[in-house]
Structure 1
Amino acid sequence: MDLQHWLGRATRAIQDWADTFGPYEPHPSLQVDDRQFAAAFEEFTGRLKDNYPFFHPHYAGQMLKPPHPAAVVGHLTAMLINPNNHALDGGPATAAMEREAVARLAAMFGYDTHLGHLTTSGTIANLEALFVARELHPGRGVAHSADAHYTHGRMCHVLGVASHPVRTDGRGRMDLDALEDVLRTGEVGTVVLTTGTTGLGAVDPVHDVLPIAERYGVRIHVDAAYGGFFTLLAGAEGSEGLAPEPWRAIARCDSVVVDPHKHGLQPYGCGAVLFRDPEVGRFYLHDSPYTYFTSADLHLGEISLECSRAGASAAALWLTFQLLPPTREGLGAVLAAGRRAALRWAELIDASDVLELYQRPELDIVTYFPVLDPPALTAIDAASARILADGMAANPDPVFLSTFRAGRDAFAARHPGIVPDADGARVLRSVLMKPESEHHVDHLHDRLEELARAV
C-alpha cells in the first residue's frame, strides 16, 4: 500500500467534498508564512528523531509499534473534517462507523447483545467498566490479580471503592484459592480478570472463575486491553493456536475492555469498552442543553463518561477493519506471526547457555535473564540493566529491550535455585507484537547472546 499516494488522495477527496458547499477564504488570522512554517517544521521533524525506532524489528522492547497505513489514512482523512463522536450532530458518519466497528469487536468476543463504544484509552475503558460495577454493587469492592495493570488500583481510588489484589500462581495467573478467600468476605462485588497481563502476557483462567463468581454472586469484568485480539487464535491449529477455554468464556462475562491501539493496528488513543447487558446504559443518563436534539437515536455521548471524542479514531478503525477484519484470517494472521516469534525465541533461549527464560510466553511477550554463577537476584538485576543499556548503545546493530521487575517470591516460584539476596530483580522483556519480528528473532537472539556473554 503506497501511503503517500493515499494521503494525497485523502486531502483531495476532502477538498472535493468541501468545494460542494461553495467557495470561501480562510481567515487572515490563520495564515502562516511558508518560510516561517518551513523553519518550524524542520525543528519539529528534527526533534521527532529523538525516539526509539518502534517500527523496526530490532525494537523488541515495550508494546509500541506504528499503526497500519490504512489506519493512518483513515485517521487523517476524517481528521481533515474533525468530527466529534459525542453527539450525532457532531459526527453522523463517524458515529455510524463507530457503531459498526464496535459491533465487530462485540462479535469477536461472542457477545450476542452489547452496549459499547470507543474510548481514548484502555484506562478510561476500565474506568467506565468499574464505574458500572460500582453502581450495580454499591459499597462492595473490586478484586483483581496482583499482576493486573496498575490502572485498576488507581481507578478504584478514583471511584472510591476498595481494591483487593489477589496473589498469582507460578504462571502469573490469578490464584483461585486466594480469590475464594477474598470472595468469602462478602466485600467484593466485581472480579477483574486479565487476558494478557502487560508485564508477562499471562492469561487468567476466565472459564474456571465463572462458576466461582456465580457461586458468590459477583460480576466479572475482563481486562483484555492488551491481549483481547488473541481471542482470534483460540482453538486455532498449529503452534500459534491458544487453548480456547478462557477466551470462549469471555462471552459469558459482564464486560470486557480491549485496546485497538495495541493489536488492532490503530494509532493512540483508541480503546473500547463493551457491556453484555445493554440495560447498564441507564447509569450514564444525563442531560445536555445543546446536544442530543438532532436525532431520536441514541447518541454515543449518552453511553459514555467522556464527552468530546475524535471521530477520526472511529474512522481509522472502521477502514482498517474493511481490509483486516477481526477474524482469524484477518487480524488473526498478524497476531499469529507475533506469537510464532515468541515461541521461536523461547526455543532458542531454552537451548542457550547464557540466557534463561523467566517464564514461558503465553502470547507474544518473552521474559528472560542472563545465566550467572552464582545465580543471585542482585547479580541478575545488575546484569539485566547492563544488557539493556549496552544493547541500546551498540553501534552499529543496536537492539532495544525493556525490563520487568520480578519480586523475590515470584522468582522463587519459577526458579527455586536462585539465591534470594534481594527483594526482587529486573529481568529482560521483549514484546514481539510486530509481525515482522517473526523474521528477525534469530538475529535478536544472537545479539542478546553476544551481550550476555560480554556481561
Structure 2
Amino acid sequence: MTSRDNAVGAKAYFPGPKSENEAWVRAEFQAILDDWFDWRKSDRTGDPAAISRDDRLSADFLAERERLSQELDTLKTLMRRETATYSPRYAGHMVSELTLPALFGQLTALLHNPNNTSKEVSRVGTVIEAEAIGMLAEMIGYDPATARGHFTSGGTVANFEGVWRARYRLDHWLSLALWIAESSGEPLNVFEAAHMGWTRYAALVKQHAPDPGALRNCSAVAGNPADVFRRLSKAAGHDYLGPVVLVPASKHFSWRKAANVFGLGEEAFWEIGLDDEGRFDIADLERRVTEAEAAARPVLAVVSVAGTTETGEIDPVDRIADRLDQWRAERGWRIWHHVDAAYGGFLCTIPDGPHETVLQPATIAALKAVSRAHSVTIDPHKLGFVPYACGAFLARDADHYTVSVFDAPYLERPQISDDPWTSTLEGSRSAAGATAVWLTGRTIGFAPDRFGALLAGMIRSGDVFRNEVLGGLDGVHVLEPVDANIVCFSLGAPGEALSAANRRTRALYDALCEAGDFVVTTTTLGSVNHRSQIARHIARFDGEADEARLVLIRCVFMNPYWASEAIRDAMVPQFAATIRQALSTLD
C-alpha cells in the first residue's frame, strides 16, 4: 500500500469534517440499532411483554414521551455549542476526531452494556477486552501471549495501577526480610532487601519456611504500617522513612495524586531533573538512586514518560532501561520501571515501518524500548482516537500483573476463575472502550503501514505548520526539539527580556482566542528543572533571562484531515494569515 493509497484508505475510517461519510455512518448506526432491537425481541420469545400497545397509546405515556423528546431537543441544542474538536481548525488539547471503528464499537457495546467486573455479567466483553489488550501489548512490543492488562477510565488510574503493583512486589520482599531479621537477629539492609527479586525471595522462603500469617504481620500493606515502619527501623538500626518513586519533572499531575491516594506522601515522589531538551536526565537518575540508597529509601519505581503532556517529549526510555539493567547485573537491584505512555504509546506503531523517518533516531530507540519496562500506561482516547473515557494498563507478564487479592463473595464463584475485578482498582468497568479499541485493531490495525502511517501523517502536519506557517514569521521561535506532533512556540525579539517576551506571547494567544478562527492552547514551563531548556530556547534571540518561566503557545496536530491536500492548501494560508493579523494587533 503506497502512502497515497493509504491516505485515501484512511478516509474510510473517519466521519469527515463535513459529514462526508454521513450516508454510510447512518446506515451502520441503523444496522447496529436494528441488531440490538432484534436481539431483545428474539430472546425468550414466549415471555410476556412489559409495555402493552394500550400503554404506548395512553395519554400519560404520550405525555412522558413528549417530555423526553423536548428535553432531548434541549440537550442536542446545548451540545451544538460544544467545542468542535473534530475540525482541522482545532489544534488545542490532546483530543481530535474519532475513528468510525471506535464509534461503531463504542455504540455496539454501549447498547449491550456489559460490565467487565466479572465474566458472569460480561461473557463477551471480557473476551474482547483480553483480545484488545493483546493488540495493544503487541503494538508496544510485549509478547501478546504472556502480557497482561486491562482497560481503565484513563491514564491517571492506569498510572495508579502501576504504583499498586510495584508496591505489592516491594512489600512482599521487605516483609520477608523483616521477618527473617526479627527471627534471626541479623541486621537488616532495607535497600538491598527491598530490591531482592522473586528468585531470591523464593530461595529465602524455601530456606526459612515462614508462616504466611507471620509474613502478613510484617507487611506495611496488609498490617499496621506505623508498626511495621517502627519494626523496620529497629531491625535496620536507623529510621525507616518509606520508599520513594522517581519521576521526571515533566511528569503528569496524576503522579502527585498517586502519592496522596497510596499514602506515600508527596515527599516520597522525588523528581528527576530534565536535560536542556526537556527530557529525563540519566545523570540525575544516578544521583537520586545513590541518594536513596544512602538514606535507605527503597525505590518503589522509576517512571519515564513517552509523550509529555505539555510539549510531547519522549524520554530516553532505552537509556533508562540500560541503566536499570546494569544495576540489576552489578548490584542485584530489581527496580520497577513504568512508562507513562498515555499520550505517546500509539507512536510505537511507527518504528520499523515505511514512515519511521518522521521520527528522530533517538525517539525511535526510545519507543522501541518501551517493551523493556515492567508496566506501561496508554490512553486510547488520545492518539488512539477512541471516545472518552478509555485508558489502558499493560504489564509485561502475569508475574508483573500480580497484585493484592480482595474477597467479594457475591461475585466469587468456584466455577469462574480470574474474574477481572480481582486485579483492577476500579470495580465496575464498561466494555465500550475495549470494544472500540478491538474494532479499531481489527480494521485499521496497529501495524506500521496502517496506524503508523496515520500517525506519521499527523507528525508531518506539525512539520508543515512549523515550516510553512511559522517559518515565515519574524520573531517567532519554535521550542526544540519536536519529538512528535506537538508544536510549541513563543515570541522573542533580539535582546528582549524574557518577561516582556512572555507578555507578548500571552497577548498573541489572547488575540488568537479572540479571533476564533483556529483553536490553540498555551502552557508555561516554570519549574526550576526547565531552567536549562528555557535558557537554550531564549538563546535563539539573545534573550535576557529575567524570570524563571517560559510562556508558550501550544498546538497539537492530531487531526487526521490535515493529511488531505485540499485541507492543507486551505488551512495553511488561513492559519498563517490569522497569526499575522494577531501579531499586528500587538503592535
Q: TM-score band (shorter)?
A: over 0.9
Structure 2: 5+ residue runs without aligned partners? 1-20, 172-241, 328-332
Look up the match of 1:120. 153
Alignment counterpart, residue 227 of structure 1, candidates 344, 353, 357: 344
What amino acid maps onto 1:240 in structure 2? Answer: V
- Please state if 1:151 is matched with 2:173: no
What amino acid maps onto 2:28 in structure 1? Answer: W
Look up the match of 2:358. 240
Look up the match of 1:427. 552
CA distance in 1, matches of 2:109, 2:414: 21
Alignment counterpart, residue 49 of structure 2, candidates 12, 16, 24: 24
Q: CA deviation at 1:447?
A: 2.2
Q: CA deviation at 1:236?
A: 3.7
What amino acid maps onto 2:256 in structure 1? Answer: G
Q: CA deviation at 1:99?
A: 0.5
- Please state if 1:54 is matched with 2:85: yes
- Please state if 1:390 is matched with 2:516: no
What amino acid maps onto 1:431 in structure 2? Answer: V
The DSSP-based 3-state class of the residue aligned with 1:391 is helix
- Please state if 1:310 is matched with 2:441: no
Look up the match of 1:211. 322
Q: CA deviation at 1:58?
A: 0.8
| TM-score using structure 1 length | 0.93
What amino acid maps onto 1:192 in structure 2? Answer: V
CA distance in 1, matches of 2:446, 2:415: 30
CA distance in 2, matches of 1:338, 1:210: 28
Q: How does 1:17-416 map to 2 (within 5 A)?
A: 17-21=39-43, 22=45, 24-26=49-51, 33-112=64-143, 113-138=146-171, 139-161=242-264, 162-185=268-291, 186=293, 187=297, 188-216=299-327, 217=333, 218-238=335-355, 239-243=357-361, 244-293=364-413, 295-348=415-468, 349-372=470-493, 375-394=496-515, 398-407=517-526, 409=531, 410-416=533-539
What amino acid maps onto 2:49 in structure 1? Answer: Y
* 1:33-60, Cα deviation, whole Å (9 max, x unpaired): 2321232122212222333221111111
* Contact map agreement 2:375 2:400 (CA 8 A) in 1: no
Structure 1: 5+ residue runs without aligned partners? none
The DSSP-based 3-state class of the residue aligned with 2:142 is coil
What amino acid maps onto 2:574 in structure 1? Answer: H
Cα RMSD of the aligned pairs, angstroms, is 2.2
Look up the match of 2:36. 14
* 1:270-310, Cα deviation, whole Å (9 max, x unpaired): 11111113124441422211214274342222221111000
Q: CA deviation at 1:325?
A: 1.2
CA distance in 1, matches of 2:62, 2:394: 43
CA distance in 1, matches of 2:61, 2:420: 32
Look up the match of 2:220. none
Aligned length: 453
CA distance in 1, matches of 2:573, 2:94: 20
* Contact map agreement 2:86 2:98 (CA 8 A) in 1: no
Q: CA deviation at 1:178?
A: 0.8
What amino acid maps onto 2:377 in structure 1? Answer: V
Q: CA deviation at 1:172?
A: 1.2
* 1:156-185, Cα deviation, whole Å (9 max, x unpaired): 222123101111112110111111100112
* 1:327-352, Cα deviation, whole Å (9 max, x unpaired): 11222122111111112222233443
Bigger Rg over Cα: 2
* Contact map agreement 2:353 2:452 (CA 8 A) in 1: no
What amino acid maps onto 2:348 in structure 1? Answer: T
* Contact map agreement 1:229 1:264 (CA 8 A) in 2: yes
Change (3 A) 1:130 1:155: same
Which stretch of structure 1 is more off in the superposition, 253-262 or 212-221?
212-221
CA distance in 1, matches of 2:141, 2:70: 52
Q: CA deviation at 1:14?
A: 0.7
The DSSP-based 3-state class of the residue aligned with 2:284 is helix
Q: CA deviation at 1:373?
A: 5.5
The DSSP-based 3-state class of the residue aligned with 2:478 is strand
CA distance in 2, matches of 1:237, 1:75: 30
CA distance in 1, matches of 2:489, 2:50: 60
- Please state if 1:451 is matched with 2:582: yes
Change (3 A) 1:413 1:91: same
| TM-score using structure 2 length | 0.73
Higher helix share: 2
